[in-house]
Amino acid sequence: MNYTLARIFLLLLLGPLVARSQLVVVVSSPKIGGQKAIVELKMKNNLSNAVASARAACFLIDDQEKLVGHSTKWVIGQNKHSLEPKGETTFNFVITSPQPFMTTNLAAKVSFSRVVLQNGRLTDPRQSVIVTSAMK
């Protein structure tokens, strides 16, 4: 098992001990192909309620800290089922560019702007979501 998979497995396994009552999100390194970048999010719901929907933004940053692409999507909900407590899901951000990306050395930064629980209650993403990067 490579180091990245081991870290993701460990985070998902120990997530309930480290991050009680939070949505744990592991962001993979972008996979670049021409004018398209794909960033995979692995999410585990450690909240006591189901997450009906969650909206996130993904920013691609080059090695000079310059923004080279971004996308905002509903990563849970919106035509998909809710994420039940202790449930896991994966979402792929697809970010396109008018020209091919000049470098493949890009980093992804993800932030959540809205998290809605099954009962319709909003929760503060700054306190209810933990975003970590998968190791290369």
Pairing of strands 67-76, 36-45: unpaired
Tokens at 115, concatenated? 């998290």
What's the domain range around 113?
3-133
Average pLDDT along the chain: 86
Scan for tokens 């990563």, then name that residue. Answer: 75
pTM over 0.75: yes
Domain count, the chain: 1
Q: How far apart are CA 118 and CA 106, in angstroms?
A: 35
Residue 134: per-residue pLDDT: 86
Condensed to tens digits (0 to 9), the pLDDT of residues 34-73 reads 899 999 999 999 999 999 999 999 999 998 999 999 999 9
Residue 52 belongs to domain with CATH number: 2.60.40.10
Contact between 32 and 101 under an 8 Å Cβ cutoff? The reply is yes
**Residue 80: pLDDT band with limits 50, 70, 90:** low
